[in-house]
Amino acid sequence: MIASIELKKSASKHLYLQLYSQLRELILKGELEADTKLPPIRKFSKKLSVNNITIVNAYNLLEEEDLVYKKVGSGTFVAPLTNQHKEEQNNYLDEQVYIDEDTKFTEQQEKMINFATGAPTPDLFPIAPFKRLVNKVLDRDGGYAFGYQKSQGYLELRKTISSYITNYNIKADIDEIQIISGAQQGIDILAKTFLDYGDTVFVERPTYPGAISVFNSRKANIVEIPITSEGIDTAVLEEKLAEYNPEFLYLMPNFQNPTGYSYSKTTKERIIELANEYSLLIIEDDCLGDLNYTSKDNKSLKSLDQNQRIIYIKSFSKVFMPGLRLAFLLIPNRYFEDILISKYISDIFTDGLVQRVLDLYFKEEMWEEQITTLKDTYSQRYQTMCNALQEYLPQKVEFTIPQGGLNFWLELPAELTDKKLQQQALKKDINLAPGSVFYAAAPPDNRIRLSIAAASQKEIRRGIKKLASIIKDQLENNGYQLNNSFLPLV
């Protein structure tokens, strides 16, 4: 029976969850009888070519459900099935989750194909491990998990992050790491630290609207520098550096939001040069860097920085769970204290329980697995989106295929507008992000952003097909006859 178990490393489900499900099924079906000894951890992990921890986690989950029991020194055994378990078996596949009013809202929206949001859907979150770890933390730390925490963040988590980011070729000491309540808070506290009334800040054009709002709230002077598919325009950047003295430049070098563009190696190196030449502080928001679907290098600017010119923001939201507000900053030493004060006045500290759970999540090596799982899911959606856009969209709609991330940035024919298209699409149960929200001033009105975060492959195909036909209709209503062989040559 055990021999039938097979784990797919490429599958969109954690290895230990795969193992857990398969063992669970064998037990519930009665194919593994009560008191059967399960394979020892080391032996089993070798056989399946996985880490010991995969087996341990799977056995633990089964134990929590009383499907197995452990005897100290002799191993793990199948438990006798209770009546409840037998009943459960029948309901296993169609279990109904209690839906409260907020989630009902989401449910109602389910017929809506949502290309507007950059937030992943709940089915992609690692609920089972989270539940296990939160209980582990509560049993271990008791009240300490709920006490006041240091504003800088939980020491163990900072250690874990310090060691983890070496994978990204970044070195940062625990004293350069600041835990924050999500990337948005990171932008907010950096603005608090560096921007006063009338100060200048450089951003990419277009950029993340949450950053624009924060800089506006500080009454800063926002200077937008165009971004191309090679990254921010370094010639314009240099011009503007000669003209202004910005407090910092805020950018997203990989799979930028909203464009999906990634900076070329040349652009990255040139920015570092300019930063050194002009003593420019750079805030690098690495929102989606983990979602690289190509073999192309996507180093962070931070990993190229020799002169402590970069503050690096990384969120756990997209890849872990957006509901848990958690991110970190890597901060050159000379700025640390000022930023710590800004963190303090923002919310004093970040939830200690969640910090502890995330720390264990890393320590049990589940983070890597979750990234792999998500990359897997998203790269399939990405491929589907690429194909659908190329297959269905009229040629007059322009876009660059991104190398990773979640966003596709479309330029509509000049006679269409983002808002009008959004309105029409909403009527057909499709939502999208109008491009104009991504600009600080004088936005063009014919860009849209499509995100694959919350749409399945099926929805992507269906949605793009519909969207394409809405675009064609609008073009025709504009008196523009769409016929590829007779396109006017202007």
Interface mask toward its own copies for 51-90; x: CB under 8 A: ----------------------------------------
Q: Does 182 bind its own copies (CB under 8 A)?
A: yes
| 316 near its own copies, rule: CB under 8 A | no
Q: Nearest distance from residue 7's CB to its own copies, in Å?
A: 23
Strands in 221-228's sheet, in edge-to-edge order, are 177-180, 327-330, 310-315, 282-285, 248-251, 200-205, 221-228, 231-232
Q: Does 123 bind its own copies (CB under 8 A)?
A: yes
Tokens coding 242: 């000669």
Provide the minimum distance between the beta carbon of 16 and its own copies in the complex, in angstroms, as a whole number.
18
One residue of 51, 89, 121, 457 binding its own copies per CB under 8 A:
121
Residue 313 near residue 282, CB atoms below 8 Å:
no
CB nearer to its own copies: give 182 or 231.
182
What span, in angstroms and rounded, lies between the C-alpha atoms of 249 and 272? 12
Write down the least CB distance from residue 220 to its own copies, Å: 11
The stretch near its own copies (CB under 8 A) out of 144-152, 385-393, 402-410, 415-423 is 144-152
Q: Does 342 bind its own copies (CB under 8 A)?
A: yes
The least CB distance from residue 464 to its own copies, in Å, is: 23
Residue 201 corresponds to which tokens in the numbers above?
Answer: 């800040």
Pick 227 or 354: Cβ nearer its own copies: 354
Q: Which stretch binds its own copies (CB under 8 A): 131-139, 222-230, 384-392, 394-402?
A: 131-139
Q: Binding to its own copies by residue 400, rule CB under 8 A?
A: no
Choose one: 33-41, 345-353, 366-374, 429-437; the region binding its own copies (CB under 8 A).
345-353
Binding segment toward its own copies, per CB under 8 A, in 21-29, 54-62, 95-103, 474-482 = 95-103
199 binds its own copies (CB under 8 A): no
CB of 456 to its own copies, least distance (A): 15
User: Is 200 near its own copies (CB under 8 A)?
Assistant: no
Among positions 196, 243, 297, 337, the unique one binding its own copies when judged by CB under 8 A: 196
Q: Which of 100, 484, 488, 490 binds its own copies (CB under 8 A)?
A: 100
| CB closer to its own copies, 51 vs 346 | 346
Minimum distance from CB of 422 to its own copies (Å)?
A: 19
Q: How far is the CB of 140 from its own copies (least distance, A)?
A: 5
Residue 131 in the binding site for its own copies (CB under 8 A): yes
Does residue 1 bind its own copies (CB under 8 A)?
A: no
What span, in angstroms and rounded, lies between the C-alpha atoms of 453 and 471? Answer: 22
Helix (H, G, I), strand (E, B) or coil at 39: coil
Among 351, 369, 418, 459, binds its own copies (CB under 8 A): 351
Range in contact with its own copies (rule: CB under 8 A) among 164-172, 337-345, 362-370, 469-477: 337-345
- Exactly one of 91, 94, 101, 111 binds its own copies (CB under 8 A); that residue is 101
The reply on whether position 94 binds its own copies by CB under 8 A is no
User: Is residue 476 within 8 Å of 390, Cβ to Cβ?
Assistant: no
Contact partners, residue 349, CB within 8 Å, separation at least 6: 148, 149, 150, 151, 153, 343
- Which residues here bind its own copies, judged by CB under 8 A? 97-98, 100-103, 106, 117, 119, 121-125, 127, 130-131, 134-135, 138, 140-150, 154-156, 181-182, 184-185, 188, 192, 196-197, 210, 213-214, 217, 219, 321-325, 341-342, 344-354
